[in-house]
Amino acid sequence: MLPDRPLRCSPRLVAAAFVLLSAPPRPAAAGFGDPEIRAGFSGGYVCQADTRRYHGIGGAATAGYAFGPTWAVGARYGLSAHAIRERAFQVHQLGVGGRYQLDVFEYVPWLELSPGLYVTSGDRGAAEATDAGVRFGLGFDRLLDERISLSVGAHYHQLFDASRYPALLEIQVGVGFRWGLGDPLAP
């Protein structure tokens, strides 16, 4: 079970994040704008809200394909755990969607939109429930080199069935990996 008290950030964790995000820039990839395969992992704070707020922790794994420096598609699986006093429950998220990004600098701002399925389990409901919803995300990646990036992002999930869990908010940090595929039109 998760503790009832609010989550606190360690000063060491804040200092480590500052050092990683302010590291000197690395040279850009030689094949700028070429398609890429991407994978990433993230974790952080999650808040589930309906008539009450349920604070917790969560994580996500992503895989995707970038068509070039501005558009990408991908799949995302997320899991969050929430607990308050004697109640505990989990929310599993699965979505496929698109990303608009400005991948032309060392800092890459992005926006995401992804419809998905949400499965809740645990003490919150009498049985497992599956709901449809949509996720909106915004944040930025910090490119450390041509293959590795750090990310900071916020994701807002709105479920279509407002009688169950209408909203979920995530604030996460993560690491991403990129593999360039080269120019598909090159001779």
The amino acid occupying position 33 is: G
- Report percent pLDDT > 90 for the chain: 47
Which domains are delineated in the chain? 42-180 (2.40.160.20)
Tell me: pLDDT of 7 over 70: no
Tell me: pLDDT of 155 over 50: yes
Does 88 or 112 have the greater pLDDT score?
112
Strand partners, 5: none
The per-residue b/e assignment along 151-171, b for 16 or more CB within 10 angstroms, e otherwise, is bbbebebebeeeebbbebebe
